[in-house]
Chains A and B, each alone.
Chain A
Amino acid sequence: QQQVKQSPQSLIVQKGGISIINCAYENTAFDYFPWYQQFPGKGPALLIAIRPDVSEKKEGRFTISFNKSAKQFSLHIMDSQPGDSATYFCAARRDTGNQFYFGTGTSLTVIP
């Protein structure tokens, strides 16, 4: 059973456009929601993260929007660049046990 559901599976965006990736969860025990960026053959790297007491967090071109009542959160990449082409994973951490649950990933391609 997938604890964190992520969509779309793949995304193609023009350079300068906005990339939007969505995630949803059911477990209200999750207390931390990170996004990871992964390039081929490399380990994921933390991109940005949010806690459920905040509805939005922005770091440079990357923004997380969080809707606690809908149990949904999304990653927005503004002014998308070819260098942003990678796989993006959302995740959620349970408040006890220090376990992380990952979405299935979104392959983003930014075309020039």
Chain B
Amino acid sequence: DGGITQSPKYLFRKEGQNVTLSCEQNLNHDAMYWYRQDPGQGLRLIYYSQIVNDFQKGDIAEGYSVSREKKESFPLTVTSAQKNPTAFYLCASNPGPWRETQYFGPGTRLLVL
């Protein structure tokens, strides 16, 4: 059963804490993306990666970090520098440049305690 999995479904963060959101895909896609979704603002790009060991900042990268050590995995860390982390986080993948369709995972909702 191919697809994108995100875990956990809900995540709680305390003040000053770093938390990591997991994204795994078994679609053999080269490109992976992290988006943040807030009410009324659509999807905003945090980071994206076209190939393993390479990634680029999106429009709202401040306070976030990523790694891409394996093709299947693209974890996102929300650091304590991100002052307003409460949002719905979506991971997506795409077969690669010149391939159009983007597939989304089920999302992780991050809440601040």
Contact = CB atoms under 8 A, between A and B. Distances in A.
B101 A43 contact: no
Given A43-B90, A98-B31, A104 B104 contact: no
A49 B100 contact: yes
Interface residues of A, number: 23
A100 B42 contact: no
Nearest to A98: B97
Interface string A37-66: 000011111100100000000000000000
B34 to A, nearest CB: 12
A80 B26 CA distance: 35
Q: What is the interface residue range for chain B against chain A?
A: 20 to 34
Interface string A19-48: 000000000000010101000011111100
Contact of A46 (B43, B45, B98, B101): B101
The main secondary structure of chain A at its interface with chain B is: strand
Contact of A45 (B35, B104, B109): B104
Contacts of B100: 32, 34, 49, 93
B102 to A, nearest CB: 6
Interface string B75-113: 000000000000000101010111011111111010000
B33 A100 contact: yes
B103 to A, nearest CB: 7
Contacts of A41: 107, 109
Nearest to A96: B97
Contact of B42 (A49, A99, A103): A103
Nearest to B48: A99
Interface of A: 6, 9, 32, 34, 36, 41-46, 49, 89, 91, 93, 98-105
Interface of B: 4, 6, 31, 33, 35, 40-45, 48, 50, 58, 90, 92, 94, 96-98, 100-107, 109
